[in-house]
Amino acid sequence: MRSVRAILLVPALLVGVSGCASYDPPVQGDHTSDAYKSNLEKCRDSSTEAVRRKNAGTPGTWIISPFTGPPEVRAAIRTCMAAKGYVLEKPGT
Bridge partners, residue 27, by sequence: 88
Residue 17 has pLDDT above 50, yes or no: no
Instruction: Name the more confident of 62 and 11.
Output: 62
**CA angle 82-56-64, nearest 5°?**
85
Break the chain into its structural domains and give their ranges: 2-83
The type of residue at 78 is: R
Q: What is the pLDDT of residue 29?
A: 86
CA-based end-to-end distance of the chain? 51
Q: What is the pLDDT of residue 59?
A: 93
pTM (2 d.p.):
0.73
**CA angle 38-54-68, nearest 5°?**
85
Per-residue pLDDT tens over the stretch 23-81: 888 999 899 999 999 999 999 999 999 999 999 999 999 999 999 999 999 999 999 99
